[in-house]
Amino acid sequence: MHALLDNVVSHFEAVFGRAPEWLASAPGRANLIGEHVDHQEGCVLPAAINRYTVAAAAPNKDHVFRLWSAPMRDHPIIHPTARDDLQPVEGSWGNYVLGVIHAYQASGIHSGGFDMAFDSNLPIGAGMSSSASIEACTALVVEGLSGTSLSPNQRALLCQQAEHQFAGVPCGIMDQLTVNGGIDGHALAIDCRTLTIEPHQIPEDLGLLVIDSQVRHALADGEYAKRKADCQHASETLGIPLLRDASLPLLMSRKAGLGERVFRRAHHVVTEINRVTAFQEAMRNADRERMGILLTESHRSLRDDFEVSCPELDLLVAIAREHGAIGSRMMGGGFGGSTITLVSLHQADAIADRIGRAYRQATGKEAVCHLVRPVGGAAAHSLSPNNHLSLS
Ligand code: GLA
């Protein structure tokens, strides 16, 4: 991350012609289990991971927001006003930034105009929460410039508003909570209703492979919203606030009244929430076989009941199981992106090689394997006057 921070300082100086005054970093996230249940206020088990977005910023006197990003260097953004009437810009990466500024403004926190540069080693659109990490960096910069300091949970809720109001994705709270509240060495058992977080140590000999299929998704395309609407239809029919409140026996007893598709959507959510509890217990007992079975069941449920997988992800999961992984499943919103694949750490490189080769042979595409580590959450970093980084 230090090299990335150095880079973003250089980028800022080259693009804006002066030194930055604020620096922030935010990790991506991997989710062990508990997929597509956060929007139903279920429990999830993600971890912040050592792939980062970093940002450098300084206030300007022109009352505008100037945004530049190394991965999107062909699309710099100048937003003409730093006043309260910010609007989303159709299809722009800047919405993740402007949406956060807007959410802070709406809660009375004003940063004034600023210039900001981003860099990242988090693949974009790979299901590793690149957007939540941009939001968290922005939030920290806004807090720095306005002299406020929110808790990770408060910050996460404002970042989630940016997704809802500016990016057009009615997402749950998992990504924003994880990216802001990550704990080194741990997965976070998050109750997405109460927003309480219980850290679970990830065994040191467990390898977390995030395998990017290189198929790109677009959650904003509307499929995410359609799944959420199906879930709402199910909970309304069942007469409960959200699917978090349904038990499997209740769901089975009301199957006929739900309709086939809506039943399957609800079946995924209810069984996945149960799997999260079972997985936590299996991890505590170091029962790898059971962990593997639960990942397989989670993938099958996401593929067949929730219908958010794609052929490449199904293939990666099947290959992983054939090549010695403990277990594997698609991760994140779906329709492309990555799998989470658990392996014995000492076999991680060999298994990643074998999976990569088999995927190439079958599809002609290159999968990118990231062996990741659970890390702490988003952080502000201080810059000394002569610009030497001092990491806080
Ligand atoms: C995306 C959303 C999250 C969550 C996952 C699926 O990452 O941003 O809130 O719903 O999909 O688990």
- Give the position, in ligand 1's atom list, of the atom nearest the Cα of 169: 8
Which residues in the chain come in under a pLDDT of 50?
388, 390-392
- Active-site residue flag, 84: no
Whether 372 contacts 210, CB under 8 Å: yes
H/E element, 344? strand 338-344
Q: Which residue has the tokens 């924003």?
A: 176
Of 392, 389, 299, 390, the residue nearest 342 (C-alpha): 299
Instruction: Give me the residues paired with residue 331 across strands.
Output: 338
Minimum-distance ligand 1 atom for the alpha carbon of 174 = 9
Q: Which of 163, 226, 224, 211 lies closest to 337, judged by CA?
A: 211
3-class secondary-structure state, position 154: helix
Residue of the CA atom closest to atom 1 of ligand 1: 333
Give residue 139's pLDDT: 98
From CA 214, how far away is CA 312, in angstroms rounded?
9
Strands 206-212, 368-372: pairing kind: antiparallel
| pLDDT for the residue numbered 388 | 47
Lining ligand 1 with CB less than 6 A are 35-36, 38-39, 171-172, 174-175, 332-333
Instruction: Kindly name the residue from 38, 115, 175, 212 that is annotated as catalytic.
Output: 175
pLDDT (0 to 100) of residue 89: 87
In this prediction, residue 216 carries a pLDDT of 85
> What is the reported pLDDT for 387?
53
Alpha carbon of 169 to ligand 1 centroid (Å): 9
Q: How many CB atoms lie within 10 A of CB 91?
A: 10
Residue of the CA atom closest to atom 8 of ligand 1: 171
Q: What is the pLDDT of residue 90?
A: 86
Give distance in angstroms: CA of 15 to centre of ligand 1: 33
- What is the 347 CA–ligand 1 centroid distance (Å)? 29
Q: How far is the CA of 33 from the centre of ligand 1 (A)?
A: 12
Q: Looking at residue 84, what is its pLDDT?
A: 65
Closest CA to 280 of 341, 189, 351, 349: 189
Tell me: the pLDDT tens digits for 312-364?
999 999 999 999 999 999 999 999 999 999 999 999 999 999 999 999 999 99
